[in-house]
């Protein structure tokens, strides 16, 4: 049993490894076979140059280069306000605050997406680890990973990057 206080360090170690293969051609082979099973053409076309203007460097690196932001030093890991999280690139709704939980990892964590169609899952076998990458289903922005050590009712932990999401506070809770 790994003590919880070490978890952030372990996740940090994992997270410094590139998660998806856009710049890692060696890893692309593994991922391509999985990617072929999903729609290769995103519903929302993204212009990378326009995105660079629109997003911060961190938002661009996370969503387009699959980088991972640091734990505990991001916008939403400790956000407990009622509202909705949407894709920072295309604004598509992703997660509701009522499925957010404190995972102790330092990243915003949810046990369920807003609906089955809001995200896509891609098996990521880079570096001998089997992980499942999560992307926005509309624009294929990289969001984070999902793990099977989450709370009930799903038992899943969607470990997201704050930089890949915008948060909108629920009007009623203002
Ligand atoms: Zn999107």
CA separation for the pair 146, 134 (Å, rounded): 7
The tens digit of pLDDT for each residue in 52-96 reads: 999 999 999 999 999 999 999 999 999 999 999 999 999 999 999
Ligand 1 centre and the CA of 119: distance in Å?
A: 9
Ligand 1 centre and the CA of 4: distance in Å?
A: 32
The tens digit of pLDDT for each residue in 1-28 reads: 445 555 555 554 444 444 454 433 333 3
Known catalytic residue at 159: yes
Strands 93-96 and 83-87: antiparallel
Ligand 1 centre and the CA of 1: distance in Å?
A: 36
Ligand 1 centre and the CA of 118: distance in Å?
A: 9
Given 20, 87, 90, 159, the catalytic residue: 159
Number of domains in the chain: 1
Burial call 48-77: b when 16+ CB within 10 Å, e when fewer: eeebeeebeebbbbbbbebbbbebeebebb
Ligand 1 centre and the CA of 40: distance in Å?
A: 14
CATH code, domain with 151: 2.170.150.20
pLDDT given at position 21:
45
Annotate 42-62 with DSSP letters as a single string: -SS---HHHHHHHS-HHHHHH
Q: Which domain holds residue 156?
A: 4-173
**Cβ count within 10 A of residue 152:** 6
User: In the predicted model, what is the mean pLDDT of residues 17-40?
Assistant: 43
């Amino acid at each position: 049993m790994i003590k919880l206080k070490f978890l952030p360090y372990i996740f940090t170690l994992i997270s410094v490894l590139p998660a998806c293969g856009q710049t890692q051609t060696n890893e692309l082979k593994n991922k391509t076979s999985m990617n072929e099973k999903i729609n290769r053409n995103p519903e929302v076309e993204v212009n990378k140059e326009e995105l660079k203007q629109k997003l911060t460097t961190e938002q661009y690196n996370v969503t387009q280069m699959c980088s991972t932001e640091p734990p505990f030093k991001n916008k939403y890991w400790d956000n407990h306000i009622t509202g909705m999280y949407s894709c920072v690139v295309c604004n598509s709704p992703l997660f509701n605050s009522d499925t957010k939980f404190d995972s102790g990892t330092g990243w915003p964590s949810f046990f369920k997406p807003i609906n089955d169609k809001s995200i896509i899952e891609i098996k990521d076998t880079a570096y001998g680890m089997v992980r499942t990458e999560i992307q926005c289903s509309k624009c294929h922005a990289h969001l984070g990973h999902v793990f099977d050590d989450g709370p009930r009712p799903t038992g899943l932990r969607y470990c997201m990057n704050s930089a890949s999401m915008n948060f909108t506070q629920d009007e009623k809770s203002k």
